[in-house]
Structure formats: structure tokens, C-alpha cells
């Protein structure tokens, strides 16, 4: 069984850049060509086409659970079907569900996950992460714990200053580094990665120091305002250790290129994401 971190880094090397497409569809924003009939069917068809369009250009996709859960049980079935289709296309899959609970509930969330990796929320502390770690270690999957998010409101809690001088996010980073140390792959990286928003380079650099063995899942590239320079600080000196995610700029590429087929627009945009990140490493 290959360790998740090794599998992910190998896939990034094979595709030439550590990039990820975030799949979080909102029906109203999909291309006209697919917006017909039942919305969930349309999302399912669009999703299958999107995965085909990006598969040659990126090693990984992150699929947002909320966008499917809103369609209840049938939506969850589509979410899992897309994860399966992505897998068959050779893509590494991240289920972006931000789950968090303790004990048996955490173990159940871990068991529910059919992706190669799952995002988790660490507000509940060590014993909320351990059950996810146990399952991940036993089945070769990975985890990305929320440490620092790029939304404006993220500051409200994550940037509070502690009595010892650290920020809350830095304390969470130390917790993740400590727990993640339980499972390091041959690549030197842990199966437990960290979600670190592409915001201020100085902050990313400080979190990088605290979590040298965590792969950073970095959302917010492109449409959310992160630039190539911003994300540089998320990488280790060896050019590894981060996975840069773009969502809207890729999945809604048809909006800026209305004259070409939507799948071609998506493929072009995914290729562009690959080149942009490859060029800074």
C-alpha cells in the first residue's frame, strides 16, 4: 500500500505541477449547454465532462461535498460517483467535506469517505483527529486539517493572539505537526496535511516552518485573489509540500471564453494553472 503523501507527490511530479482543481458547482453558473433538465443530472453530466477535460493537466481534484449534499441522498450518490470517475481517470481525489467530530462519530465520518483524502476541522482537538488518522493509516488515504483559511472572517478566531505570543492558527499548526508525525511517507511528508489559504506570504512562511512535513492544500488561487507570488511561500525549499487549488477560474472558464466549447475552455484553463505554478518552482 502506497503512503498517501508519496502517491500525491508522485502524481504531481508526473503531471509537472502540484495543482488541483476545486469542483464546487453551482447550477446557475454552469455553461448553457449543460443547464437543462433536472439540475442534479445536469451537474452530474457537467462534472463527468469537467473531469475528462482536466485529467491531462492536473494530478488532483478536490470535490466540494456541500454542493452535492444540498440535493440530499441523490446528491451524495452523485458526489461519490464523480469521485469514482475521477479515480478511474487517474486523478487523486480530495473530498472537501471539512468534517469534525469526536470518537465514534469521527470514525464514522472517516469510514464514510470514498476519496483518496478528506478535509477535516480541528476545532475539537487531538481526539477528534485521531480517529481520522487511524482510518487513514489503515487504508492509505490522506487528510487535510483546517489551519488557516483565506476568508475575511477567518481572522476572527484564527488570528487571535495567544498569551505565549503565537496566533491560534500557529497553535493549531503545532498540533497538526505533532499528530501528523505518526505517519510520514518515504517522501518525508505526512498523510496529515494542512489547509492554508493563499493570503499573506509572511504568514504562510511562518506556518511552513511550524509544519515542515505537512503538505499544504492551498485554496484561493486565481479567482479568490491569490497570485503565484503569494503561494511561493507555501512550498518548502525543495519545491515540494504544497498543492495549489483553483476552482472558479477553471470550472467556470466558459464565462471568459464564450466562443469555444466549454470543455475546451476548462482544459485550457487547467493547462494554464499547471504552467503558472510550474513556472514558479
Cβ within 8 Å of residue 224, ≥6 positions away: 150, 198, 247, 248
3-state DSSP assignment of residue 190: strand
Among 31, 47, 59, 100, interactor with a second copy by CB under 8 A: 100
Please give the Cα distance from 131 to 105 (Å, whole number): 9
* Candidate residues 38, 56, 156, 229; the one interacting with a second copy per rule CB under 8 A: 156
Q: Which residues make beta-bridge pairs with 92? A: 60
The reply on whether position 64 binds a second copy by CB under 8 A is yes
3-state secondary structure of 14: helix
Among 33, 40, 48, 76, binds a second copy (CB under 8 A): 76
What does the CA dihedral 117, 118, 121, 126 come to, rounded to 10 degrees? -50
Catalytic site includes residue 7 = no
Cα dihedral: 232, 235, 236, 238 (round 10): -80
Note whether 168 binds a second copy by CB under 8 A: yes
Other Cβ atoms less than 10 A from the Cβ of 14: the count is: 9
Q: How far is the CB of 281 from a second copy (least distance, A)?
A: 28
Query: Which of these is catalytic: 15, 98, 200, 209?
Result: 98
Pairing type for strands 142-148 and 216-218 reads unpaired
**Contacting range for a second copy; rule: CB under 8 A; set: 118-126, 184-192, 210-218, 251-259:** 118-126
In the bound state with a second copy, the residue whose beta carbon lies nearer, of 167 and 187, is 167
Chosen residue from 13, 38, 41, 103 binding a second copy by CB under 8 A: 103
Closest approach, Cβ 271 to a second copy, in A, equals 26
Task: Point out which residues bind a second copy (CB under 8 A).
Answer: 24, 26, 64, 66-67, 69-77, 80, 96, 98-106, 108-109, 111-112, 114, 121-130, 146, 149, 151-158, 160-163, 165, 168, 171-172, 175
Amino acid at each position: 500500500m502506497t503512503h498517501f503523501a508519496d502517491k500525491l507527490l508522485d502524481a504531481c511530479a508526473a503531471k509537472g505541477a502540484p495543482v488541483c482543481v476545486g469542483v464546487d458547482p453551482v447550477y446557475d453558473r454552469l455553461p448553457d449547454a449543460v443547464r437543462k433538465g433536472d439540475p442534479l443530472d445536469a451537474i452530474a453530466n457537467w462534472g463527468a465532462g469537467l473531469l475528462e477535460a482536466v485529467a491531462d493537466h492536473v494530478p488532483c481534484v478536490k470535490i466540494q461535498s456541500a454542493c452535492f449534499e444540498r440535493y440530499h441522498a441523490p446528491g451524495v450518490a452523485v458526489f461519490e460517483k464523480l469521485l469514482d470517475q475521477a479515480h478511474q481517470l487517474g486523478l487523486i481525489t480530495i473530498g472537501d467535506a471539512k468534517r469534525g467530530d469526536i470518537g465514534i462519530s469521527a470514525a464514522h465520518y472517516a469510514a464514510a469517505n470514498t476519496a483518496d483524502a478528506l478535509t477535516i476541522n480541528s476545532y475539537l482537538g487531538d481526539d477528534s483527529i485521531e480517529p481520522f488518522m487511524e482510518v487513514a493509516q489503515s487504508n492509505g488515504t490522506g487528510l487535510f486539517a483546517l489551519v488557516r483559511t483565506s476568508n475575511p472572517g477567518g481572522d476572527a478566531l484564527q488570528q487571535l493572539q495567544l498569551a505565549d505570543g503565537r496566533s491560534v492558527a500557529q497553535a493549531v499548526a503545532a498540533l497538526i505537526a505533532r499528530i501528523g508525525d505518526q505517519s510520514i511517507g518515504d517522501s518525508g511528508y505526512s498523510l496529515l496535511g494542512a489547509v492554508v489559504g493563499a493570503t499573506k506570504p509572511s504568514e504562510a512562511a511562518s506556518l511552513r516552518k511550524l509544519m515542515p512535513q505537512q503538505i499544504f492544500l492551498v485554496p484561493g488561487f486565481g479567482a479568490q485573489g491569490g497570485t503565484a507570488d503569494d503561494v511561493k511561500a507555501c512550498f518548502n525549499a525543495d519545491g515540494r509540500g504544497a498543492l495549489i487549488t483553483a476552482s472558479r477560474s477553471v470550472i467556470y472558464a466558459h464565462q471568459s471564453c464564450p466562443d469555444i466549447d466549454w470543455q475546451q475552455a476548462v482544459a485550457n484553463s487547467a493547462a494554464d494553472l499547471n504552467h503558472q505554478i510550474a513556472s514558479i518552482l
